Amino acid sequence: MEYIGLLVGFALLIKGADLFVKGSSNIAKALRVSPLLIGLTIVAFGTSSPEATVSVLAAIEGNAGVAIGNVVGSNIFNITLVVGLTALITPLRVESSTIQKEIPFTLLASVVLLVLISDVFLQSLSSNFLMRSDGLILLLFFTIFLYYIFEVARRSREQDVAIPPTQATSWRRNIILTLGGLAAIIFGGDLVVKGATEIAVSFGMSETLVGLTIVAVGTSLPELITSITAAVKRESDIALGNIVGSNIFNILFVLGAAATISPLNVDSKLFFDVILMIILTVLLLIFSRTKYTIGKIEGSLLVIAYLAYMIFIIIRN
C-alpha cells in the first residue's frame, strides 16, 4: 500500500508543479517579467514546491533525515543530472549575471548551511543540529535574495523588456491553475513522506538515505522536466535559471522554514554530501565560465558524477 501511496504522491507532485508553473508563469509574463527572472523565481519556486512541502512535513513529523537529505540530494541531482541531461540536449547559454551573482549566491548559501550544521566542530557540542535560530538565519539570507530579485525585476520593467504575449489572458484561469497545482503539491508531498518513511523502515534503510535518493529524485522531477522542456524550446535562460533558483530556494527557504518549525538533528554522514554539493557548485561555476556555455562534454561529466555519487551513497548505507 505504501508503494501505491508513494507513486500517487509523486504523480501529484509532478502534475501539481506543472500546473503551478503554467499558471504563475502566465501571470508573470502578463506583468512583463524577463525570461531569466521567470526562471529564477516563478519557475524555480514552483518546481521546488515539492521539496518545500516534503521537507516541512518531514520536519513536523520528526523525520529530520528525510527533511535535510531531500534538500541536499535534490540540489546534487539538479547540479549534476538535470544540468547534465539538459546540456546534452542543447548547449546551455549562461548569462553573465548568472555567473557573477546567482551561482555565487548558491555557493554562499551552501557554505552557510555547512557552517550552521557544524555544531560539534565549531561549538564542541555532542550533536549537530539545525536549530530554530539557524532556520531564521537561512530565511534572512533568503530575504536578501528576494530583495535582489525584486531589484532585477524593477530594472527589467524600467527597460521595458519585450516578452511574447501569453495566450492565457484569463487571470481567473491562471489563478485556478496556480492554486490547484499548489493543492496537489501539498497533498502529494504528504503521501511521499509517509510512503518513503514506511519503505525505509521495511528495508532497513536510513531516513537520510531515503531523503538523498528516493525522495530527492522524486521531488526533483519537476526541475528535470521543466529544464529539459525549456532546453528543447531553446529557452536556456529559463532552464539554467530554474536550476540555480531552485537550489537557492531549497537551502535558504525550505531548510530555513523546516528548521524554524522544528529543530533538525543532522546525520554525520550528511557532511560529505553537503561538501560535495559545494564542490559541484564550484564546478558548475567553472563550466559556466567556459565560453559562457555548458556544452555536451561538461554535461556528460555531470551525468557521470551523479551516477558515481548514487553508487557511493548506496554502498555507504
**pLDDT at residue 162 in the model:** 47
Q: What pTM did the predictor assign? A: 0.82
> CB neighbours (10 Å) of residue 63?
27
Domains annotated on the chain, with CATH: 2-316 (1.20.1420.30)
pLDDT tens digits, 92-150: 888 787 788 889 999 999 999 999 999 888 887 778 999 999 999 999 999 998 888 77
- Nine-digit cell string for 229: 522542456
Contact 41, 238 (CB under 8 A): no
Instruction: Look up cell 548558491; give the residue.
Output: 106
Q: How far apart are CA 186 and CA 81, in angstroms?
A: 25
Listed in sequence order, the residues at least 6 apart from 203 whose beta carbon sits closer than 8 Å to its beta carbon are none
**pLDDT at residue 106 in the model:** 94
SS3 of residue 264 by DSSP: strand
pLDDT tens digits, 22-36: 777 677 677 666 666
User: Per residue in 119-139, is it b (16+ CB within 10 Å) or e — as a string?
Assistant: beeeeeeeebbbeeebbebbb
**pLDDT at residue 96 in the model:** 80
Q: How far apart are CA 178 and CA 256, in angstroms?
A: 24
3-state SS track over 209-231: HHHHHHHHHHHHHHHHHHHHHHH
Task: Work out the angle at residue 133's Cα, subtended by the Cα atoms of residues 128 and 135, and round it to the nearest 5 degrees.
Answer: 80
Residues (pLDDT < 70) of the chain are: 1, 25, 28, 31-44, 47, 153, 156-169, 235-238
The DSSP code for 129 is E
The DSSP code for 34 is -
Q: How far apart are CA 244 and CA 83, in angstroms?
A: 10
Q: How far apart are CA 301 and CA 297, in angstroms?
A: 6
**pLDDT at residue 168 in the model:** 41
Instruction: Look up cell 501571470; give the residue.
Output: 27
